[in-house]
Chain A
Amino acid sequence: MSDPRSATGGPERLGFATRGLAWEEPLIFERSVPGRVGYSLPDLDVPDADPADAFEAEALRDDLADFPELSEVDVVRHFTRLSTWNAAVDLGLYPLGSCTMKYNPKVNESAARLAGFAAAHPLQPEALAQGFLELVWRLERQLAEVSGMDRVSLQPAAGAQGELAGIMMVRAYHEHRGERRTRVLVPDSAHGTNPASAALNGYAVATVPSGRDGVLHPDAVAAAMGPDVAALMITNPNTLGLFEPHIAEICEVVHAGGGLVYGDGANLNALLGIARPGDLGIDVMHFNLHKTFSTPHGGGGPGSGPVGVKNTLAPYLPVPMVRKREGSEGTGYALDYEFPRSIGRLHANFGNVGMFVRAYAYLRSLGPDGLRRCAEMAVLNANYLLARLRGRWHVPYDRPVMHECVLSDRQLEPSGVTTLDVAKRLIDYGYHPPTVYFPLIVHGALMIEPTESEPLEGLDRFVAALDAIADEAARDPQLLRSAPHRTRHARLDETRAARHPVLRWQPAPSS
C-alpha cells in the first residue's frame, strides 16, 4: 500500500504519523486448536449430577460446535492484537461532534471496581445496599442541580432510552389530562433518535425548519404548534453548536399551546455552570453520562441516559426511585415505588449502576468550579478551532459557537473531493475523523467537538492536519479519494457488506 507523498506535506513529513508494525490476527475461531485449554475450573465438592437423569435427550445439547478451543495465551494475544487496531481517546483527539469524547479518568474505573459496587446484586436487601442507595440519591440530586430540573431518574441505560422515557412521560401526562395529542415537533437539525423515540410512542413527527441563521424561531414553532402537539424536542446548544437564543420564548409558545418541551441533553457540556435547561423552560430532558460526565464510550457503550423532569412530570417517573427514610422508619435510604402514574420500568433493575459510580467520582473530582471550567474550556477550544479554520474551510453559520463547530464541503467543490474523503485522509494523520454528514441541514457537514480535554498544541496540530489536507485536495484529489493509506485496511466496501450480509463466521463445509 503506497502512500504517494504530496510535494509539501503528508503525515510523515509533517510529523503526524509514521509507518509502524501492525499485527495480523485471524478470527478467534480460526485460531482454535482442538484440545487447547484456556479455562481453570475447580473440582466438584458435591456429588456430580447427570442432567440426563432429569431431562429428556431432546432437551439437552450435545456439543458447542463452532466454539473455539484456545489456551489463555492464545486468547490474550488475540485480544491484545485486536486492541492495537483501534483509535481511542487515550491515543489522541477524537473530535466527534455531539459525542463529547472527553478524557475518561482512571480513578473512575478504580471506584467502579470496588467490590461493594462490582460484586453487589440489584436485589440484595436494602439494609445490605445502603452505600449504593445513598450514591443514587446523591447523584440524582447533583444532576438535578446541574440541570435545573426537579427530579432525576438514573434508570435509562443510554441517551436514547432516556429519550424514550421522556416521551413516554409526556404521553402519560397528556393522557392523564384526558387530552388526545398525536404529534411531536422536531427541528430539522435533530439527531435521529429524536424522531425515532417519538414514533415509538405512537406520535407522528412534524419537522420544524431552522431559520437561515441556523437556530429555531418562535414564529416557526408557533406555525407548527397546535392543540394536537404533545411536545417539541429541542437540543440546546443545537447540533450546529449554536445556543438557541429564542429558547425561552419558544418554550412559552409550546406551553401556551398546552404542550411540553423535551430537551436533548447531548450537548450539556457547553452549559455546565453557565445556564441550566430547567431555567430555560425545558420540562423534561435526558443526560448522557458517557458524554458530559466522562464515563467511557467502551467501543459503543455501555452509556447511561438519566432523565430529569420538572415537578409536573414527576408522578410519571420510572420506578423505583430512591428516598430517604424518615421518622419512625429510622435512618438510611429506601427504594421508592410510590409513583402510581409511573410509566413503569424500562430496565430490569436500576440502570447502568457502574456508570453512576464513575459519574459520581467525576462530579466529586471536579466540583462546581471544575464543571464550569469544562464548559469554558470546551467553548474556548471550539471557538479557537473555528478562528483558525475559517480561512481555508467554509463555515456555513459563521458566528461564535459553543462547544462544537460545523464546516461544510463547499471549499472542496472544485476538486470533487468529498467530506468523506477528508475524513478518511484525516485517519492517515492519526486522527479519528469528526462527525460527518450530520446535521443534515449542512451539505457535507464536518461536525467538530474538541472537548475541554484537548490542549492548545493539540488543537494547533489538528488545524495543521486539516490545512495539509486542504492543500492535498487541491493538488492531488485522488490521494484523498482513495484514503486511508496508512491503516491496516484500505477503505472498506460497505456496499458489499449490505448487499451480501455475512454476519457470522461459519466453518468451511467439509468436502
Chain B
Amino acid sequence: MAEYEIPNELRYTLEDEWVRVEGERVTVGVTDFAQQQLGDIVFVELPEVGSAVERGEPFGVIESVKAVSDLYAPVSGEVVEVNADLADHPEHVNGDCYGDGWMIAIALTDLSEPDGLLDAARYRKHVEERSQE
C-alpha cells in the first residue's frame, strides 16, 4: 500500500483538501493522496483574488493528463491570495503539495468554521478506507 504524507498540524476535508489555519485566514491545497490519485497535474484553475467562496462549493478545477476534479472550498470567506506560480508550474502540486503547491488563501467569515474540519488522524482513516476498495 502506498505511503501518503499527512502532516499532523494541518486540517483536512473529505474531498482531499488540506487547510492550514493562520488566525483569521486559512491556506488551502490538495493532499498527497489526491495528487497521487490524479497523476501528473497539468493545469489548475483558480479563482480571482477578491472572489467569495462558500463552504462545500467548488472554487476551482484541477486537471491531470487523464482526469479532472473540482476543488471544493473547505470554509466560507473571501479569496485574499492566489498562488500565481501554479499557472506555469502545475507540477508543484505533485512535488510539494503542502508547500509550493498551495492554491489559495481565504479570509474567514466564520472563525469557528475550521473546527468542523477533519484532523490528521481522521483524515488518515478516510484515506485508508478508500485505499482498500
Contact = CB atoms under 8 A, between A and B. Distances in A.
Interface of A: 437, 494-495, 498-499
B60 to A, nearest CB: 17
16 contacts: A437-B66, A494-B65, A495-B39, A495-B40, A495-B42, A495-B65, A498-B40, A498-B42, A498-B43, A498-B63, A498-B65, A499-B40, A499-B42, A499-B43, A499-B90, A499-B91
Interface of B: 39-40, 42-43, 63, 65-66, 90-91
A495 B64 CA distance: 8
Contacts of A498: 40, 42-43, 63, 65
Contacts of A495: 39-40, 42, 65
Contacts of B40: 495, 498-499
A498 B68 CA distance: 13
Contacts of B43: 498-499
A437 B43 CA distance: 22
Nearest to A501: B42
Contacts of B66: 437
Nearest to A495: B40
Nearest to A499: B42
Contacts of A437: 66
A437 B40 CA distance: 17
A495 B67 CA distance: 12
Contacts of B65: 494-495, 498
A143 B41 CA distance: 45
Nearest to B40: A495
A136 to B, nearest CB: 40
Contacts of B63: 498
A437 B39 CA distance: 15
Contacts of A499: 40, 42-43, 90-91
B67 to A, nearest CB: 10
A499 B42 CA distance: 5
Nearest to A437: B66
Given A498-B43, A498-B63, A499-B91, 13 more contacts: A437-B66, A494-B65, A495-B39, A495-B40, A495-B42, A495-B65, A498-B40, A498-B42, A498-B65, A499-B40, A499-B42, A499-B43, A499-B90
Contacts of A494: 65
A437 B65 CA distance: 14
A494 B91 CA distance: 14
A478 B65 CA distance: 22
A495 B39 CA distance: 9
Nearest to B66: A437
A499 B65 CA distance: 9
Contacts of B91: 499
B1 to A, nearest CB: 12
A254 to B, nearest CB: 29
A442 to B, nearest CB: 13
A196 to B, nearest CB: 13
A495 B65 CA distance: 6
A278 to B, nearest CB: 36
Nearest to B42: A498
Nearest to A443: B133
